[in-house]
Every structure is written in structure tokens, then in C-alpha cells.
Amino acid sequence: MSIRLELVNWPEKSPLQRFTPEKWSRQQPTYRDADPGLIAAALRWSQQRPSGNWYVVAASDAIGRGRPYGAKVAGREIVLWRDEAGTLHAGPGACPHLGAPLATAQVENNALICRWHGMRVGPEDNASRWCPYPSHDDGVLAWVRVDSAGAETPTDAPILGERPADTTVHAVTRLIGVCEPRDIIANRLDPWHGSWFHPYSFARLEVTRTPPKADITEENHRFELDVTFRVTRSLGVPVRAEFSCPDPRTIVMRIVEGEGAGSVVETHATPLGPGPDGRARTAVVETTIATSARPGFRHARRALPLVRPMMNRAATRLWRDDLAYAERRYLLRTHQS
Ligand code: FES
Ligand SMILES: [Fe+2]
């Protein structure tokens, strides 16, 4: 029976469905379908998408009032902070006087005061000494636009994929890998590894639609799959999900049918620049934004402090494995082994 048919028979109250667990090695192998040429074509297409030079830095709520946040984007040191009204600002992370880290500066009104000699820099600066970067807070994530790194046509705001109308129930995980953003995206453009590589999270995975190998377009670029999110060995939540790439460094999994339809997992890959060993470092910022038509879902909002660490834990486990996949891919294609 297909998962689609089973959805129709779901009891109203329980999203969980019992299934007969298969021995890991007895699953249908997926390597025949996971065509390296198709994954490469989908990746090439994703890498040609415009980004407007926007980069995700961190969870929006990681940048609080009163304390600057230091980060790196494409080898550039940057600083983000909020003014008293909560508006996000960003700029180069080194003080234009003698290079002190502005991540340690003091915030006053909407400006930063350098700890070393008191120079004041802020959003009104546009002199050649220190020029602020455009920043964007989408309510879940903080973004910065670095035109010198992206070198594309800048846009006023980041290019976002579809999200639930209410983004209150969300969690953000941030990890750093030894790879480039494209390795993170390539991992996600291989949906066939799901129930083999992450058997603790996925079962009964079937890819139901792929992009074509040639002439990929906005309309046909999505992958679609049926999968059961595993809760216990033999209980899970079956859904239909799709993967799409709104920009070259983002891949979005959206539940299109089943429990939590409309919920998304956005995976953003931000290049940090080379690490001390000369190899590329990439920050993976992944956010799960949950929604549900179920009346009980409003309780999830009240239980947010409890739900968030649980959502983070699940995502972190998956990402440790997916990061190993992406790092391995980077190693192989850069011949560093
Ligand atoms: S280094 Fe910042 S004011 Fe001197
Ligand atoms: Fe994965």
C-alpha cells in the first residue's frame, strides 16, 4: 500500500502510524536511482540561482540587544548588533582605527563604541573608513549582504523560500563543517541516502519525482519523496516532502502532504573562508519552522522552551552525519586525502 493511501486512513487524533520495521540491510538499495549525473545537474542548476549577495549569519534571537555578535562571511570578519529599538545592524568586524574587534565593542544608541580608543561607528557611517553592510532580520534568521563576496546583482532583501505564515514554532541549529556550501547542498540533493544513512530518523523512503537531467527550470527543479519520520522502531509519521533551492546556498524541505503540511526545514550554507589548515569552512544554519492544522498545535507554542531543545537535538544528530557526507565529498573533489 502506498503511503498516500495510508494517509487517508489515518485516525483523526494520532499522526503516528505503525509499520513493520525492515532490517537495515534488507532495504531496497537506492544507488541505482541516485544517479551521480542527475545530482550534479541539480547542483549545477542550484549554483546558478541568484542570491542577491545575502548570507545567513545566525538565528535571529542569537543577536541580542546590548551585545555585538562577531561572525565571519567568506573570509571577512563582520559584526552584527541591535539598537535600542531592536533593529539589526551589521558592518566590518575590525575597527577602522587600529583593528580592534568590534565584537567586543559597547553598544550605545544605534552605534558601536570601540573598547580600544573609543571610536564610534554605526549605521550612519558611509565614509571609506568603515561602511556598514545591509542586514535583514526575517524573524527567524539574521542575514547580512556582502557585495564584495557575492559579486552578484544586489537585492534589497534575501530571496526566501515558502514558509508557514506563522513562524513562532521554530528552532535553529548551527554547525561548522570542513567543506564548501555546494557540498552541503549536494548532500541534500541526494534524497536517496535518507533511510540508508539515517535509519534512526527515516523509514520507507521513496523518491517520487526528480528534476530532469537536462533543461532544469524553476518549475521542474524540485525533488519529491514519500518518507516516514521515525519516532520509535515501528512507529512513525508518514509525509510527502519536497526539496527546492530558493538560492545557491539554501535548500528547503517542505512537507506538502501529511502531518505538519506546510512545515519547512531550511538549510543554509554560509562560507566562512579557509580555516587554519587552509581548507574551507562552512557554517550550516538549519531552521525547522513547524506548523500544523491540528487544534493541539497551539500547545506546541506554549511548550516552546521544551520543544526547541528537542527539535535542536534531532536536527543536530542528522546534521552530524550529513556534515560527514559533505566533508567527505569536499575531500574527494579537492583531492586532499
Ligand atoms: S582600535 Fe578602535 S578606536 Fe582604536
Ligand atoms: Fe541526510
pLDDT tens for residues 5-31? Answer: 334 444 556 678 898 888 999 999 999
- Does any ligand 1 atom lie closer than 6 A to the CB of residue 95? yes
Interval 158-179 mean pLDDT:
92
Task: Tell whether the model's pLDDT for residue 257 goes beyond 70.
Answer: yes
Task: Tell whether the model's pLDDT for residue 101 goes beyond 90.
Answer: yes
> What proportion of the chain, given as a percentage, has pLDDT over 90?
74
- Does any ligand 1 atom lie closer than 6 A to the CB of residue 105? no
pLDDT of residue 7: 40
pTM of the model: 0.90
Task: Tell whether the model's pLDDT for residue 305 goes beyond 70.
Answer: no
Interval 252-256 mean pLDDT:
94
pLDDT of residue 3: 36
Task: Tell whether the model's pLDDT for residue 318 goes beyond 90.
Answer: no
Query: Any idea which of 55-64, 131-140, 304-313 has the lowest mean pLDDT?
Result: 304-313
pLDDT of residue 12: 53
Interval 92-106 mean pLDDT:
98
Ligand 1 midpoint to CA 272 (Å)? 25
Interval 193-222 mean pLDDT:
95
Q: Ligand 1 pocket check: which of 79, 112, 117 to mutate, most ligand atoms within 8 Å of Cβ?
A: 117
Interval 211-221 mean pLDDT:
96
Task: Tell whether the model's pLDDT for residue 196 goes beyond 90.
Answer: yes
pLDDT of residue 1: 31
Query: Any idea which of 54-58, 149-153, 276-280 has the lowest mean pLDDT?
Result: 149-153
When the pLDDT of each residue in the chain is averaged and rounded to a whole number, the result is: 90
Ligand 1 midpoint to CA 286 (Å)? 35
pLDDT of residue 9: 46
Task: Tell whether the model's pLDDT for residue 36 goes beyond 90.
Answer: yes
Ligand 1 atom with the smallest distance to the CA of 114 is: 2
Task: Tell whether the model's pLDDT for residue 49 goes beyond 60.
Answer: yes
Interval 97-105 mean pLDDT:
98
Query: Any idea which of 187-191, 241-245, 294-298, 326-330 has the lowest mean pLDDT?
Result: 294-298
> What proportion of the chain, given as a percentage, has pLDDT over 70?
89
pLDDT of residue 16: 81
- Does any ligand 1 atom lie closer than 6 A to the CB of residue 119? yes
Ligand 1 atom with the smallest distance to the CA of 119 is: 3
Ligand 1 midpoint to CA 105 (Å)? 10
Task: Tell whether the model's pLDDT for residue 286 goes beyond 70.
Answer: yes
- Does any ligand 1 atom lie closer than 6 A to the CB of residue 98? yes
Interval 261-266 mean pLDDT:
92
Q: Which residue has the higher pLDDT, 181 or 230?
A: 181
Interval 165-182 mean pLDDT:
92
pLDDT of residue 310: 58
Ligand 1 midpoint to CA 79 (Å)? 15
Interval 155-167 mean pLDDT:
94
Q: Is 114 exposed, middle or buried (0-12, 13-18, 19+ CB in 10 A)?
A: buried
Q: Ligand 1 pocket check: which of 102, 116, 125, 130 to mutate, most ligand atoms within 8 Å of Cβ?
A: 116
Q: Ligand 1 pocket check: which of 77, 98, 102 to mutate, most ligand atoms within 8 Å of Cβ?
A: 98
Interval 129-158 mean pLDDT:
96
Interval 81-89 mean pLDDT:
97
Ligand 2 midpoint to CA 202 (Å)? 10
Ligand 1 midpoint to CA 65 (Å)? 22
Ligand 2 midpoint to CA 198 (Å)? 7
Q: Ligand 1 pocket check: which of 95, 106, 120 to mutate, most ligand atoms within 8 Å of Cβ?
A: 95
Ligand 1 atom with the smallest distance to the CA of 96 is: 2
Closest protein CA for atom 1 of ligand 1 = 98
